[in-house]
Amino acid sequence: MKRRLLLVSNSTLHGSGYLDHCQQQITNFFGKEVKKVLFVPYALHDRDAYTKTAREKFKTLGYEVESIHEAADPVDAVRKAEGIFIGGGNTFRLLKSLYDHKVLTEINKRVLQDGVPYMGSSAGTNVATVSINTTNDMPIVYPPSFSAIGLVPFNINPHYVDPQLGSKHMGETREQRITQYHEEPDTPTVLGLREGSMLLVEGDRATLLGSCKARLFTRGKPPVEYETGSDLSFLMTR
């Protein structure tokens, strides 16, 4: 399998600008072979403004950005893409738009069969997985299915946060919500990506990158912590 993925937890890290914390990983990932990146801004309402932000950032890294929402034919834009970047925002809005524009299957094909590099951040990372069932977002719109692009055989919870000692908040923690998800039968493993962390996938090899650990949740088992640099390739065969 030719897949190459860079799945980032968050677009902006506290104290830095848009994609600043992962810009070195982005240039390493897309390399010199990719000249133009197809940006998918469907997760936010103001797609023009979102595209402007992404275009300006990628220009500083040496890449031209074409936005799928500016294309006359979104499917054709995916078919011609050298690289794909799906940005963050609301995951339900994003997935519904991918279905509405009939590009979900085409993205899957381009990445898994043609080897087109795929980068996602936040919601863009959510939709790269089996389903969006472990997103943190509100269901502001209703996609025809929660099934996502399926570039990896597990789910991810971007922006994963740990319980705060001494907090008086009585709502469920993120870990409790993921545990509730795993109370349902046949639910896949969930990788909790904290702010600043990302997963690099090359074929069947997966490596945790970034500035902090990730927490792995498997149905019926206790959670496990993994350090930055860990080989998580075992997730690709689940």
Q: Which of 182, 48, 50, 25 is nearest to 119 (CA)?
A: 25
CB 34 within 8 A of CB 63: yes
Kindly state the helix (H) or strand (E) to which residue 49 belongs, with its residue range.
Answer: helix 47-60
DSSP bridge pairs for 217: 190
Catalytic residue among 147, 159, 230, 233: 159
159: annotated active-site residue: yes
Nearest to 161 by CA among 149, 181, 176: 176
- Looking at 11, 131, 137, 197, which residue is catalytic? 137
- Supply the DSSP symbol for 119: E
- Angle in degrees, CA 180, 144, 112, rounded to 5: 85
Q: What is the rounded distance in angstroms from the CA atom of residue 8 to the CA atom of residue 87?
A: 10
Whether the Cβ atoms of residue 119 and residue 83 lie closer than 8 Å to each other: yes
Distances from the Cα of 99 to the Cα of 76, 120, 143, 145, 224, angstroms: 15, 17, 7, 9, 34
Identity of the residue numbered 159: H
Residue of 9, 67, 122, 197 marked catalytic: 122
Residue with tokens 């069932």: 133
Whether the CB-CB separation of 98 and 91 falls below 8 Å is answered with no
Compute the Cα dihedral for 64, 70, 75, 76 and give only its sign. negative
Annotated catalytic residue 137: yes
Residues recognised as catalytic: 122, 137, 159
